[in-house]
Amino acid sequence: MRGDPSILHVDLDAMFAAVEQRDKVSLRGKPVVVGGLAGRGVVATASYEARAFGVHSAMPMSQARRRSPPGTAYLTPRFPAYKRTSEVVMRLLGEVSPLVEQVSIDEAYVDLAVTGHDLSTAGVTELARQIKAEIAAATGGVTGSIGAASSKLLAKIGSDLHKPDGLTVVPAGQELAVLHPLPVSRLGGVGPATEQRLRRSGVRTVGDLARVPLDDLVDWFGTAHGQGLFRLARARDDRPVVSEREAKSVSAEETFDVDLTDPVRLNRELDLLAARVAGRLRAGGLTGRTVNIKVRHHDFTTVTRAVTRDQPTDDGRLVAQLARRLLAEVDTSSGIRLLGVGVSTLADFAQDDLFSGSFPELGGLFGGPVAPLTEFPVAEAPGAGVAVEVLPAAPPMAEEVAERRDVAAPVWRTGQDVRHDEHGVGWVWGSGLGLVTVRFEGPLTAPGPVRTFPVGDPLLHPADPPDWTGRGTPGR
């Protein structure tokens, strides 16, 4: 905690609704609800006129419609417009200080300590007043509330204290006086579950929380959360303002208007989501090793599945393929309301390029760069079967051998998958390293020639993989 109120928290008031009211005169002074208008939509932002009727963010739209008076405007979000307004404000804040942490599209912390501004309470108050006026002028009337304090915690609480169009400066030394009367739910990180647990022990205000021993908090909430609450209740918060944070995951998900059961349809949706995620990865110059799916059942129970590969990817077809495998592990027969695809364990460079050369020596497979996808000519044994054995690189696993006489069907063993396309080219598809032995056989006769290939990584193959689904490549 600092000795000056040198951290600002700037929060635009009901931003989505405010932009709509700015852009359409007839909406001013009226209840405006922005969010998903379809059956399962929720409220993203309600204007203050709508909030008076009990409408708030995250409320189901159906409920918002019941609460709102006639004449309420229901609008689908126009993100590009909000983004432009956000950029105007962030640019403005960047002129106040070089250290600005944008938390979301409508919120940011500004560190004044790295500037030459007067950090007295009066000085900061005047500065915040100016910033508020500039925001309103630059955005055409969208207002922001500002809190200034000696920590992020108090700055954020301050900006919330007199919304909308509010300004609260917490003088150094006054933190506990401001904090302790507030309900615990005002602390960042205290949601419904934490609030409920605290209430069970008679804790309602931050002041109450400050009287709970550390051991109890750790008991109830675990080490990290427990210690965090202990500190926050005492206004101990030295989290720095950080301007750049690296993304940790990229994901896309969709809630369907009606629950889906058709596996073909589900797979198609998965492909679309995978393509969206991959496109955003590429746009951000990112690649990731872990592919996740999220499945929400009709009863809102949610499961996730994940698989981590050795090499990162930004290839939508590969993400889709892995996502389909993961989905195959989940029982979808009773109806799916939401499907999601994500990529995590991100690397910020495309590793593909490093290994797109020729096959390395076998020795290189063990710990070194991996080979491209292994191809083998199925046509070498026309009209015959092909036996494929996949031997993992690690000797202890060598007894796990996948064997299959018909490579048209997938082989599921040791994470490997064998296919062939209509051109008579077989593919080994998997993330493991090792050797694949292909034995070409005549029908019901003695084994034919045996060839051994290093198993590489499909991601690294420069050519388009074949369409294993038989339904065409997921389109864009």
What is the smallest separation between the CB atom of 452 and DNA, expressed in angstroms?
A: 23
Contacts by 167-172 with C-beta closer than 8 Å and gap 24+? 167/125, 167/128, 167/129, 167/132, 169/5, 169/121, 169/124, 169/125, 169/128, 170/5, 171/5, 171/121, 172/2, 172/3, 172/4, 172/5, 172/121
Q: Does 337 bind DNA (CB under 7 A)?
A: yes
Q: Does 345 bind DNA (CB under 7 A)?
A: yes
Which residue of 130, 261, 308, 356 would you call a contact of DNA, by CB under 7 A? 308
d(CA 207, CA 151): 18
* Torsion angle in degrees (nearest 10) through CA of 110, 115, 118, 119: 50
Q: Please name which of 293, 52, 325 lies closest in space to residue 164, comparing C-alpha atoms.
A: 52
Report H helices in 181-222.
192-200, 206-209, 214-221
Q: Binding site residues, as ranges?
A: 11, 106
Nearer to DNA, 4 or 107 (CB): 107
What is the smallest separation between the CB atom of 359 and DNA, expressed in angstroms?
A: 24
Stretch that binds DNA, among 37-45, 200-208, 349-357, 452-460 (CB under 7 A): 37-45
Residue 465 phi, psi dihedral angles, 5° rounding: -70, 160
Q: Does 420 bind DNA (CB under 7 A)?
A: no
| Residues within window 213-232 making contact with DNA, judged by CB under 7 A | 222-225
Which residue of 1, 42, 75, 393 would you call a contact of DNA, by CB under 7 A? 42
Q: Does 130 bind DNA (CB under 7 A)?
A: no
d(CA 155, CA 237): 11
Report H helices in 222-259.
223-233
141: left (phi over 0), alpha (psi -120 to 50) or beta: left
Stretch that binds DNA, among 40-48, 80-88, 163-171, 434-442 (CB under 7 A): 40-48
Nearer to DNA, 27 or 232 (CB): 232
Q: Does 285 bind DNA (CB under 7 A)?
A: no
Which residue of 1, 75, 136, 306 would you call a contact of DNA, by CB under 7 A? 306
Q: Does 338 bind DNA (CB under 7 A)?
A: yes
Q: Does 30 bind DNA (CB under 7 A)?
A: no
Q: Does 104 bind DNA (CB under 7 A)?
A: yes
Stretch that binds DNA, among 34-42, 172-180, 311-319, 463-471 (CB under 7 A): 34-42
Stretch that binds DNA, among 32-40, 68-76, 81-89, 139-147 (CB under 7 A): 32-40
Q: Does 302 bind DNA (CB under 7 A)?
A: yes
Q: Does 205 bind DNA (CB under 7 A)?
A: no
Q: Does 398 bind DNA (CB under 7 A)?
A: no
Which residue of 342, 372, 385, 415 would you call a contact of DNA, by CB under 7 A? 342
Which residue of 2, 180, 305, 325 would you call a contact of DNA, by CB under 7 A? 305
Q: Does 271 bind DNA (CB under 7 A)?
A: no
Q: Does 340 bind DNA (CB under 7 A)?
A: yes
Q: Does 103 bind DNA (CB under 7 A)?
A: yes
Q: Binding site residues for Mg(2+), as ranges?
A: 11, 106
Q: Are 273 and 365 in contact (CB under 8 A)?
A: no
What is the smallest separation between the CB atom of 189 and DNA, expressed in angstroms?
A: 5
Choose the catalytic residue: 20, 49, 107, 269: 107
Q: Are 288 and 343 in contact (CB under 8 A)?
A: yes
Q: Does 240 bind DNA (CB under 7 A)?
A: no
Is 143 in a helix, a strand, or coil? coil
Nearer to DNA, 303 or 379 (CB): 303
What is the smallest separation between the CB atom of 424 and DNA, expressed in angstroms?
A: 33
Which residue of 120, 174, 290, 452 would you call a contact of DNA, by CB under 7 A? 290
Q: Given strand 144-149, what is the order of strands in its sheet?
A: 100-104, 107-111, 7-12, 144-149, 167-169
Q: Give the interface size with DNA as a residue count (CB under 7 A).
A: 63
Would you call 101 a catalytic residue per the annotation?
Answer: no
d(CA 385, CA 383): 7
Count other C-beta atoms under 10 Å from residue 357's C-beta. Answer: 12
Q: Does 192 bind DNA (CB under 7 A)?
A: yes
251 pairs with which residues across the strands? 342
Contacts by 218-224 with C-beta closer than 8 Å and gap 24+? 221/194, 221/197
Stretch that binds DNA, among 137-145, 255-263, 360-368, 400-408 (CB under 7 A): 255-263
d(CA 393, CA 373): 15
| Helix 263-283, helix 316-328: angle, nearest 10 | 140
Which residue matches tokens 């409408």? Answer: 55
* 368: its two tokens: 């070194």
Binding residues for DNA, rule: CB under 7 A, are 36, 38-42, 44, 57-58, 60, 62-63, 66, 103-107, 156, 187-195, 222-225, 247-255, 257-258, 276, 280, 289-290, 299-300, 302-308, 337-338, 340, 342, 344-345, 394
Active site positions, annotated: 107
